[in-house]
Structure 1
Amino acid sequence: MSADAATGRTWWRWALAAVIVAVAAAVALWPQFTRHDDGNAATGSTPAAPTEPAVAEADRAAAALAACPQPTGAPVGDSPLRGLTLNCLADGKPVDLVAALAGKPALLNLWAYWCGPCAEELPLLQRFSQQAGNALTVLTVHSDPGTSRALSRLIDLGVHLPGVEDSNAKVRTAVHAPAVLPISVLLRADGTVAKVVVRPFTSVEDISATVAAELGVKA
């Protein structure tokens, strides 16, 4: 074999080796070029939103909360809460807030399981609700993701008012209330806001007087 032939075969071997190395490198890097900077596949998928832990039906049953109100078809005004749907604490089912409350005045009480003043106020609200009867709806709005802890807190307090879970504080945001608790939102019969009370009620008489002054409901 001539020296030129031997040199040619050596060149082809090196060329073939270089091609193999290049292909291997391309295969290794391929996933990086087919994913976005956020680590999602190039199909445009996004990470699933974190979900709240499931609430055991036994916990809901133990709380023995009153059922959430249901829509009656009553007319609804220009309420900032219009279209807002939250899950009922009693059974986990969605509640169209304004549609369910329309037809009579309502008191929405924003609270959380860790809030001390809320724990003092909630029993007062239950007593007031019993006193008001069908003249007005009292609905609690748990403004924290800890649904199971909310149910446990209500059991400890002996409070069985209907309530909804508002883990993202949508009600507070909608009525432009400050980031404090408790807050009470007084709604007229058409769902419009009559008053946002940014303080805890101190007695049943305090609740009655405020509701009478802002909603015209005497209880």
Structure 2
Amino acid sequence: MNNRTRWLVLVLVLGVAGVVALWPRDEAPGPPPTPSRPSQDVSALRAQAQLRPCVPGGEGGVEVTCLGDGTRTALALKGPILINFWATWCQPCQEELPVLDSYAKQPGAVPVVPVLVESREADGLELLARLGVRLPSVHDGSDELRKRVKAPMTLPATYYVAADGQVRQITDPPYFKAPEQVEKAVR
């Protein structure tokens, strides 16, 4: 192969590599990007959401942010308690949150703690206010709580923590559509 042919092959290979590098690709599935918008007054959103106060979880808990007042608190895996991981972009989560709120208002209900993940606090507060959900809710921005219970990345994900500390994921149903389903799952 002469020099001219070698140069031609080199230019052709570099051209193909450049086209491949710049070719648009499908994005991996996952949450849609959060649109940029001006920062909001989170205290106004907290007032609008009117969430019930978070209950401090005690020693050995995972540090999370209480959405109701913005304080850092430890959420311990001490039961009985129902922990629900959700995100603002998750449609089944939006359907399930009012059901959990309705269940939690029943006498003798197991305490329910919605845990916002993969979303900004402000977006979570806006959604909770729009849905009329007043449950004491937390934000797990670092995903530490989700890692502790070994929760999958799919949402929603709900866990029942028994009085003896045993943690089990509730998979049937995949998400709650009626308070009676929650009652059955925590028995």
Q: Structure 2 length as normaliser, TM-score?
A: 0.71
Partner residue, 2:131: 157
Aligned-pair Cα RMSD in Å: 2.0
Distance 1:149 1:209 in 2: 31
Partner residue, 1:147: 121
Partner residue, 1:122: 97
Distance 1:108 1:60 in 2: 21
Distance 2:170 2:63 in 1: 22
Structure 2 residue aligned with 1:172, among 146, 149, 153? 146
Letter in 1 for 2:83: L
Q: CA deviation at 1:55?
A: 5.5
8 Å CA contact 2:103, 2:182 repeated in 1? yes
8 Å CA contact 1:129, 1:137 repeated in 2? yes
Runs (4+) off by over 3 Å: none
8 Å CA contact 1:142, 1:164 repeated in 2? yes
SS in 1 for 2:186: helix
Q: After the TM superposition, which residues 174-189 of structure 1 pair with which residues of structure 2 at under 5 Å, given as runs?
A: 174-189=148-163
8 Å CA contact 2:64, 2:141 repeated in 1? no
SS in 1 for 2:160: strand
8 Å CA contact 1:144, 1:168 repeated in 2? no
Partner residue, 1:57: 43
Partner residue, 1:112: 87
Q: CA deviation at 1:205?
A: 1.1
Letter in 1 for 2:168: K
Provide, for residues 28-77 of structure 1, a one-character-per-residue CA deviation record: whole Å limited to 9, x for no partner. Answer: xxxxxxxxxxxxxxxxxxxxxxxxx7862111111000000125x7xx8x
Distance 2:160 2:180 in 1: 16
Q: Structure 1 length as normaliser, TM-score?
A: 0.62
Stretches of structure 2 that go unaligned for 5 or more consecutive residues are 1-38
Paired positions, count: 147
% of aligned pairs identical?
36
Stretches of structure 1 that go unaligned for 5 or more consecutive residues are 1-52, 77-81, 213-219
SS in 2 for 1:131: coil
Higher relative contact order (CA 8 A, sep 6+): 2
Q: CA deviation at 1:195?
A: 1.1
Structure 1 residue aligned with 2:168, among 192, 195, 199? 195
Q: CA deviation at 1:132?
A: 4.1
8 Å CA contact 1:110, 1:143 repeated in 2? yes
Change (3 A) 1:83 1:194: closer
Partner residue, 1:27: none
SS in 1 for 2:182: helix
Provide, for residues 7-30 of structure 1, a one-character-per-residue CA deviation record: whole Å limited to 9, x for no partner. Answer: xxxxxxxxxxxxxxxxxxxxxxxx
In our comparison, the structure showing a higher alpha carbon Rg is: 1
